[in-house]
Chains A and B, each alone.
Chain A
């Protein structure tokens, strides 16, 4: 089911009210039933897959816990990883692998193309695979005890607010809350409703309105575009995907919050980041924390963490890792993270781009030592924002070739002399960017006038009013959330 729909509003209302009214012992079963209905609204047949995947991890986690030797524990862990990644690779990467085999055949003058049957990508498979993987790995690491109630475990994996596109939660973060049960709380209800309204506003009133302009721009031929056009496309898509995904995350967090379940934040004003490292502590925080704990730190030989917040933090105590290990871990992690976003070399390129940004940052940050902190932040922001925005070009382009064609415009000063889009596109991207920065200033400002309760409350009420108005007008499932395709 899509969050940006009337059906979801009705579904949420029924699910939440029933959960509040039902006796505590039935509450969890109700949440599982609601989650099954939520997922089944998309395609009922894939429920079998998600239940199978969950059962494998439930069963394996018990075997890991009960195993008496390290060898047996490792074997069970490998079984879980193989099955989870096997399913992910089959559903998500089969076409990609065979396309590349075909292309490789072309290089050698052979026909290695194979016609494949139709494979439908199950909604949310990338996310629930990561959730499942983290659970078994945490059991293996003895960070948590396995759940011995399959219903509870299935509710953890399938809990609808996080199942399709995150936030990616660890077992100990959600399972304990699910065990505790839920009661009506006006504080949670208010906070949840506000988050949902804000999330829907970002999706339907901002992301969905920018999307047609960005789609049209990216469908233009690269040869007729200029440098400014490419920058506008990069910023336009950067804003679109931010509003889209942050909006989704807020609806997810808000929906859970109404039920009294707290999710960690997934976004924290990422375009205010003052360094590439800072960006990944603000953007898709639960994913970058996952990559940190299950990829980057193990690959670099350092100790893992077990929290889905903090994002990727390269300044973690890492005395056991050599510089070389850190660098290779960084690039390998980001390469995999790129491919996780989509089965295309574009995404791998995007991942490596970010790894390169972090790498450059590591070796240049000392240059800013001794400079006034605010000035250093400003300089950092001025470099980080365009670098991060430009990285969206390969992320959004349809082929690697298109990515390079577009990026080549940015470094060619001659192409800056003409504009290729209607004036509205430049104007809207500029105004939305300024609006976002202004919003951040107003929210974060310490200005005494803005801190006065009456001013703050009036402003909040007015903003909430505008958001309710916009959601009412624009709410319709015209497009799915971008991250659904991952």
Chain B
């Protein structure tokens, strides 16, 4: 009898543990779901605004892989009417978020491609396609530059060079929309580097299909069932619908915890990661060689960086990188412009001791970049429409 009671008591304890754990978990979930953090804003910094430029309702800047593909495709499908005879000059301008963010945005501010276009004698005769991705690395530029060259007639390639982006090497999943089987096959034939980049993309995105879908369930009966269940549950239960938000908050919490524990701040010096650096520089060399073979000029520029504060790079590594860039440009016949000191301190964001944005400047900074590049663009495109 006593034994039965003990067993029963132990069972009650077990049930209580599960119930209590579930209650704690759901209270924590409800709390985390309530922490509405705009993850997109957080990633770009509170003071920055993402902007898209357009003419006659058609964009000519893009900041996601999907938008970039659509932008490049309009050139090949002849969707862009041009008032220029015989046709306008297409300039592919690759960069990171500096190209599409404006710090402390004010009415009338525009991105650098806009200013380049407007400074041209006949704006209809130039198509500066601003294609930028946050923290874009040069391996991603290889894919974009190859795709653009395959799909359309590019007259000039401008590449923004940011030292910090050489720490990146992931090719984001979204590139699936560009890397169709045909593009992959064509890229794999063009050079060893392009082949390796596609190979790495396939290895790290083995769960992603050609249409960007997750192939884990693709083609199985479970796929529509899973989607249906998720949709029904999301519609019926707010907490389930908030899962992406909660997931983002969890990652953000871990990120902040890491920074707090290790004392990492925006001003902390970020060391070069040799392996990634080498991969990215090899990718840059590949772009230069490919465009040289295609007879398309390339204009490289070292991106402006905030100069009124110590830059968060290892000084020697940064100097060495600039030296290497000069050599690469000379070797490949590309033109390199150093704009690192172009934008004065007052044109960057406001800052507190721990929070400084070294990457994104205000509206006038974009105009300065366009002005600085204009003579070189004119030189490369010659008298076309100018």
Chain A residues in the interface with B (C-beta under 8 A): 1-2, 5-7, 10, 40-44, 186-187, 190, 193-194, 212, 215-216, 218-221, 224-225, 229, 398, 418-422, 424, 427, 457, 460-462, 464-469, 472-474, 477-480
Contact = CB atoms under 8 A, between A and B. Distances in A.
Interface stretch (B16-24, B140-148, B354-362): B16-24
Interface string B1-29: 00000000001011101101110111011
B159 to A, nearest CB: 22
Interface in B208-233: 214, 216-217, 220-222, 225-226, 229-230, 233
B200 interface: yes
Given A6-B229, A6-B233, A469 B207 contact: no
A219 B18 contact: no
B195 to A, nearest CB: 12
Given A7-B225, A215-B206, 8 more contacts: A5-B222, A6-B230, A41-B221, A41-B222, A187-B11, A219-B203, A464-B21, A465-B28
A420 B22 contact: no
Contacts of B246: 473
B204 interface: yes
Contacts of B199: 219
A216 B24 contact: no
Contact of B204 (A5, A212, A467, A468): A212
Please name the 5 residue pairs, one residue from A and one from B, whose CB atoms are nearest each other, closest first. A420-B275, A464-B21, A468-B25, A465-B24, A224-B275
Contact of B216 (A216, A460, A462, A480): A480
A427 B262 CA distance: 11
A22 to B, nearest CB: 23
Contact of A472 (B25, B169, B225): B25
Contacts of B233: 6
B203 A215 contact: yes
Nearest to A9: B229
Contacts of B276: 420-422
**Majority DSSP secondary structure for residues of B touching A:** helix
A224 B274 contact: yes
B170 interface: yes
B119 interface: no
B279 interface: yes
B246 to A, nearest CB: 5
B273 interface: yes
B67 to A, nearest CB: 24
A421 B11 contact: no
Contact of A10 (B29, B229, B243, B275): B229
A420 B11 CA distance: 52
B314 interface: no
Interface of B: 11, 13-15, 17-18, 20-22, 24-26, 28-29, 167, 169-170, 196, 199-200, 203-204, 206-207, 214, 216-217, 220-222, 225-226, 229-230, 233, 243, 246-247, 250, 258, 273-276, 278-279
A44 B219 CA distance: 11
Nearest to B224: A7
B28 A469 contact: yes
A418 B274 contact: yes
A467 B229 CA distance: 22
A478 B250 contact: no
A420 B275 CA distance: 5
Given A2-B222, A216-B169, A462 B24 contact: yes
A41 B25 contact: no
Interface of A is mostly: helix
B275 A219 contact: no
A34 to B, nearest CB: 14
Nearest to A186: B11
Contacts of A225: 275
A5 B220 CA distance: 13
Contacts of B204: 212, 215-216, 219
Contacts of B226: 5-7, 477
Given A41-B222, A187-B11, A221-B196, A2 B217 contact: yes
B273 A419 contact: yes
Given A1-B222, A224-B279, A190 B18 contact: yes
Contacts of B230: 6
B220 A42 contact: yes
A460 to B, nearest CB: 6
A467 B20 CA distance: 13
Contact of A7 (B20, B28, B229): B229
14 contacts: A6-B229, A7-B225, A10-B229, A43-B220, A186-B11, A193-B18, A216-B169, A224-B275, A421-B276, A462-B21, A465-B22, A468-B21, A468-B22, A480-B216
Contacts of A215: 203-204, 206
A461 B247 contact: no
A88 to B, nearest CB: 22
Given A193-B18, A427-B258, A421 B275 contact: yes
Contacts of A457: 13, 17
Interface centre among B21, B26, B246 (most CB of A within 10 A): B21
A473 B278 contact: no
A478 B207 contact: yes
Contacts of A473: 29, 243, 246-247, 250
Contacts of A466: 25
B216 A461 contact: no
A25 to B, nearest CB: 29
Contacts of A194: 18
A41 B274 contact: no
Given A419-B273, A479-B207, A41 B17 contact: no
Contacts of A422: 167, 273, 276
Contacts of B221: 40-42, 44
A104 to B, nearest CB: 25
Contact of A420 (B25, B203, B229, B274): B274
Contacts of A220: 169, 200, 275, 279
A480 B216 CA distance: 6
Nearest to B205: A215
A475 B200 CA distance: 27
B24 A190 contact: no
B248 to A, nearest CB: 10
Contacts of B222: 1-2, 5, 7, 41-42, 477
B172 to A, nearest CB: 11
Given A43-B220, A472-B29, A186 B22 contact: no
Given A216-B170, A460-B17, A41 B279 contact: no
The residue in B13, B20, B217, B274 that gathers the most chain A C-beta atoms within 10 A of its C-beta is B217
A397 B70 CA distance: 36
B273 A469 contact: no
Contacts of A190: 11, 14-15, 18
Nearest to A420: B275
Nearest to B12: A186
B215 to A, nearest CB: 9
Nearest to B242: A473
A186 B18 CA distance: 13
Contacts of B22: 465, 468
B19 to A, nearest CB: 9
Nearest to B23: A465
A283 B276 CA distance: 35
Contacts of B220: 41-43
A464 B21 CA distance: 6
A461 B24 contact: yes
Contacts of A221: 196, 275, 279
Given A224-B275, A465-B24, A469-B29, A478 B216 contact: yes
A10 B230 CA distance: 11
Contacts of B13: 457
